[in-house]
Chain A
């Protein structure tokens, strides 16, 4: 398709997905440069406003990724994150955002290959979706 290179903001938890990303790196798996990672202690810390801000600033997608249910280091932060993603997927599409621009995944610390594959797939999917129109509509 086009030469559109999406910008994807990823909020990843320190203990699982960030460790998986590290592993993918040390295993020299290819990863797209489109994903800007923000390391959080837990996905339970991702306030909905972080996601809203990223999308309003023109991010083409936002990923939240943490430990599998049962593995969260703070017991249930990831389950809170899941409710918040449910909420955002209810709100944002009503203002014209494609709900596929908000993603939640569980990627455990040892799943480096999964991490690399998931990122590659996400970038491909967002390329397909095209740029976030908000860039045109917002004067911040």
Chain B
């Protein structure tokens, strides 16, 4: 039976109560460090910080509805070799799922980290968040949750969470060592902390928190949330498939793409150390451009735009966890997340794979069996 405890809410302040919890964890949880998003002096943004001093958690705010990067990328940096200590990392469900993909690709290890996942109600885009937060990010976080508790959902002050979040059917970090629960929990009184693994148990056992059980209504509320998101997601699949149904349509879908490759840089599971599109393979001979242009009398510059996106779909759609950082990073508002998630749905279904679900499932393109997919082999005579 998993340990479930209450994180008490003091002064009706979710943010500072959670900070107290993290401070206690850093003192008494048997860890050497904690990675958590903090506002830092900028106030209207958050960034992951690696903290060893409990007194340096005064602007920690993992509930801020924004995540400028998918932090799986920095956890991968922390864990590619032995870390020399144990670090608890506070992540969103999609960050945990991306990290699981990276571990399977040998770009991270779980040995030295304890994964703390928070129920995720979504995040605003990097561009919108500063306007929402104003000059007091922590106060803005409280406003966001007050809005939700009042039944007004995630749209607040004219802003709303990103399409990736609306389409995400994994709001609960099932595969975290410690889950911090918000959905269906009485946030006026407490948050839930639930240990799913022995590692998680160890972290919680010395914090002196009173034990509880998951509230009845939590299951139902999660189900409701997931149902809403699935219906948004499925509609998105239909619309995106329609909008890209042939190469002509795809060309216009990507019409504003400037080949900056920000989407690739922001993508936590685009795993190549050196992307082929940045190598001299794509430094074409100048005379080649002229030959290409001559074929039809016209050539769009820069070249290779559709090629880039289709290749990325082939290379990593089976690992896409739908975080939406690609769209977040695009300077030209191209709905890249919609395209990738839609294709990822089809490729993952084809291989009966769910990216980020478990360390046990083999990534589809890393395993192969003698006796499979006979239907794609044509007979020779």
Contacts and interface: CB of A to CB of B under 8 A. Distances in A.
Nearest to A88: B314
Interface of B: 241, 244-251, 276, 292, 296, 298-300, 303-304, 306-307, 310-311, 313-315, 317-318, 343, 346-347, 350-351, 364-365, 368-370, 372-373, 376-381
Given A86-B376, A117-B381, A95 B368 contact: no
Nearest to B314: A48
B197 to A, nearest CB: 32
Nearest to A70: B370
A89 B346 CA distance: 11
Contacts of A106: 377, 380
Contacts of B378: 103-105, 118
Nearest to A76: B368
Query: For this complex, into which size category does the number of interface residues on chain A fall?
Result: 35 or more
Contacts of A40: none
B318 to A, nearest CB: 7
Contact of A91 (B317, B351, B381): B317
B300 A140 contact: yes
A85 B376 contact: yes
B318 A87 contact: yes
Contacts of B370: 69-70, 79
A83 B343 CA distance: 16
A121 B380 CA distance: 9
Interface stretch (A2-10, A25-33, A130-138): A130-138
B248 A137 contact: yes
16 contacts: A52-B311, A56-B247, A56-B307, A70-B370, A82-B372, A83-B373, A86-B351, A86-B376, A91-B314, A95-B250, A96-B249, A97-B247, A104-B377, A133-B247, A139-B298, A139-B300
Count chain B CB atoms within 10 A of each CB in A79, A94, A136 and give the residue with the most.
A94
